[in-house]
Amino acid sequence: MQRRLRWLSLPGLLAWALSAAAAPTAGELRATCARALAAGYVGEEAAMCDWYVAPCGICGKDGPPPKQWCVPAHVGAARVAGAVVQALTGGDDARPAPAAVEEILRERYPCAAEE
């Protein structure tokens, strides 16, 4: 019986793992960031928004990826989040958020302007 229960729970665990690894849609991120901004950009939703709009520069054991955008040091995460929310409004809410945010940040904060 215990073996059978383990087998039955495997598909559930797999579904959970896949959904946990899935990125939010542009609409979900826009809503999360908008709520965070309305709450003063503090707390869990601000942290979730930061994960996409202000990612850290450490990516894996080999260090950061090449810069694709350059947010000036004086521009805070809340301001970047506001720009992302504004740009996502009226767009394709079903689009994966990482690709949408990357495009927005590359256009809004090009590295050539910073250098």
Q: What is the pLDDT of residues 28-75, one digit of tens each?
A: 999 999 999 999 999 999 999 998 888 765 555 555 555 678 888 899
CA-based end-to-end distance of the chain: 65
pLDDT at 61: 52
Pairwise CA distance, residues 74 & 101, whole Å? 20
Model confidence, pTM: 0.71
Report the C-alpha dihedral over residues 28, 33, 35, 38, rounded to 10 degrees: -160
Pairwise CA distance, residues 95 & 57, whole Å? 24
Structural domain boundaries in the chain:
23-114
